[in-house]
Amino acid sequence: MKVELAQLAGRDNGTAYNLERALAAIAACGADTQLIVFPETHLMGFPTADTVAQIAEPLDGPTVRAVLAAARERNLAVVIGMAENDNGRFYNTTLLITPEGIALKYRKTHLWASDRGVFEAGDRYATCEWNGVRVGLLICYDIEFPESARALAQLGAELLIVTNGNMDPYAPTHRTAIMARAQENQAFALMVNRVEAGDDGLMFAGGSALVDPLGTLLFEAGREEGTFSVELDFDRLQVARQDYHYLDDQRLKLPGEVVEHACGLRELLIPAC
């Protein structure tokens, strides 16, 4: 599978600018690219409690519709983050958009300091089948919690995609975490981070990466903007799992109700505290 990692700078509360850059990156994809991945909340940047109501959009809003149209035109899939408005409730959301529509929606379950008071936490993990691969989504801080990726693995995920907004001085944390999450779940892990300074002065650390199911770092970007092409060989899943499979051997399963949908969507609902 050919994937492009769009490690871009963005503007907080700058939807028109961010969308223009996303559409340009999609249009410039290689002819054999099947998927392009963008950073956390790329479409809107990071709103504040004062701006989120004006900036966030519903999933059927004009910005997502524009990305869907671009995906259809290029016949590829797009993973991209946004600030979602669901009838006045706001979420840090990442979407897997295919030419057929939104295949997967994930709302960040672990809110970092700057998310709190702006977004609500999501209440479930989800995977879907895409191009013969079961895909799960995570967002930034989620990968610092092993249970997040394990929840997706319990739902059958073979590819973990992380939209990231990680900043200094925490770049080493996510480099370590993404390798661990791939290795301990015997799945590919893709992480795409933002770069350059945000409106609040935070310096985003780049370091977008691809890790194979053995935990081997196959690609790591630097701190500069760029779109990087990587290739995933899913035969590596069989290599990683041929002698042992952690999910079969683990002694404790994560709690929560698993819901199977006719469309192939598979969800694990997070139990109430």
* Domains in the chain: ranges and CATH: 2-269 (3.60.110.10)
Q: Select from 121, 115, 133, 124 the least CA-distant residue to 79.
A: 133
Q: CA-based angle 230:145:269, to the nearest 5?
A: 95
Q: What is the pLDDT of residues 141-198, one digit of tens each?
A: 999 999 999 999 999 999 999 999 999 999 999 999 999 999 999 999 999 999 999 8
Reply yes or no on whether 108 is catalytic: yes
On whether the CB atoms of residues 174 and 127 are closer than 8 A, the answer is no
Q: What is the model's pLDDT at position 202? A: 87
3-state secondary structure of 159: strand
**Residue 253 annotated as catalytic:** no
**Annotated active-site residue in 29, 105, 108, 158:** 108
Please identify which of the residues 4, 40, 84, 267 carries the catalytic annotation. 40
140 is a catalytic site residue: yes
Q: Residue 171: helix, strand or coil by DSSP?
A: helix
H or E stretch at 16 = helix 15-27
Report pLDDT for 52: 98
- Which parts of the chain register pLDDT below 50? none
Q: Which of 29, 105, 128, 140 is catalytic?
A: 140
Enter the pTM of the model. 0.96
Q: What pLDDT score does 113 carry?
A: 93
